Structure 1
Amino acid sequence: MQESPIKDKQALRKLYDTVLPELAQHIHQHLADVIPLFHDFKLEKLVDTWTREPGSDATTEISLDKGNVSQMGLRLRLEGFQRVGADNFDLTKDLLFKLDRNFYTIGPNQDNVWLEKDYLQNWDEADYELVAEKWTEQLIDDLTQRLEKYTV
């Protein structure tokens, strides 16, 4: 009988140490044309150590090592848009991994899900590309809307 996929320290570490860095590389490749438009660029991993799971003990520390984190993801910061005729501005965009007990979802927020996976399910190239493309499309839409405000 196969193990039931469940959120634990090992599963969360795999996401944090393996999946997030690989996904960040794919996103970075998709952003190759956007990054030069800004003065500075940061793409970092995030872990939510504030949100408690329902029914959890209020005194228990929330951490990857305890296997009780409910969200993690990536945060992109593009700082100092550089273009003649446009005001300087920054863009920030998050990619959220919402970590349920037996599966997790990936999307730009809790309400918009692009992909759902079991903890034992491996990521393939198509998964990375799907998420990187959707996230980059949304970022470009955000950038376009921001620029339209300055040109109207």
Structure 2
Amino acid sequence: MQDSPIKDKLALRKLYETILPKLAQHIHQHLADVIALFHDFKLEKLVDTWTREPGSDAANEISLDKGNVNQMGLRLRLEGFQRVGADNFDLTKDLLFKLERTFYTIGPNQDNVWLEKDYLQNWEDTDYELVAEKWTEQLIDDLTQRLEKYTL
């Protein structure tokens, strides 16, 4: 085991294959009532394979297997809001894992951080719940604002 955790292929694979799916399960449980308001939904994992680290070689491919991805996360897409008297609309929300060299942050965008973890640090159920609750609260706020536009 390494003395200091760093961003590498193993750390990124753990996030992508273990942490993101478990976090998606917690989020799905929190969103059950909201999902029922829409015709369809998708909750998927995302990996940013476009953003390069400063000073990196432009010919070097960005991938999980190379351990050089800078962002990953989840994207929720709610499609076809169903309510009498309101126009149908879709809602999309991202959850971003910003991947630094020795740690990563989790939040709705790069400027808003809810949680910071070292790569070797395990997630507790309270961590999953914290992120799922905050994300659900923001999604409900977004939905409420959208509905208020239709009622004004």
Q: Same fold (TM over 0.5)?
A: yes
In the superposition, the TM-score normalised over structure 1's length comes to 0.99
Instruction: Name structure 2 gaps, 5 residues minimum.
Output: none
RMSD: 0.9
Aligned to 1:67: 67
For residues 38-90 of structure 1, give each alpha carbon's deviation from its aligned partner in whole angstroms, at most 9, with x where no partner exists. 00000000000000011111100000000000000000000000000000000
Return structure 1 stretches of 4+ with deviation > 4 angstroms.
none
Instruction: Name structure 1 gaps, 5 residues minimum.
Output: none
The alpha carbon displacement at 1:2 in A equals: 5.3
Q: Distance in 2 between matches of 1:135 and 1:60?
A: 34
For residues 93-120 of structure 1, give each alpha carbon's deviation from its aligned partner in whole angstroms, at most 9, with x where no partner exists. 0000000000000000000000000000
Q: Distance in 2 between matches of 1:2 and 1:67?
A: 16
Q: Distance in 2 between matches of 1:2 and 1:33?
A: 43
For residues 3-24 of structure 1, give each alpha carbon's deviation from its aligned partner in whole angstroms, at most 9, with x where no partner exists. 2110000000000000000000
Aligned residues: 152
Relative to structure 1, is the Cα distance of residues 2 and 67 closer, same or farther in structure 2, using a 3 angstrom cutoff?
closer
Q: Distance in 1 between matches of 2:84 and 2:41?
A: 19
Q: Distance in 2 between matches of 1:2 and 1:9?
A: 14
The alpha carbon displacement at 1:35 in A equals: 0.5
In the superposition, the TM-score normalised over structure 2's length comes to 0.99
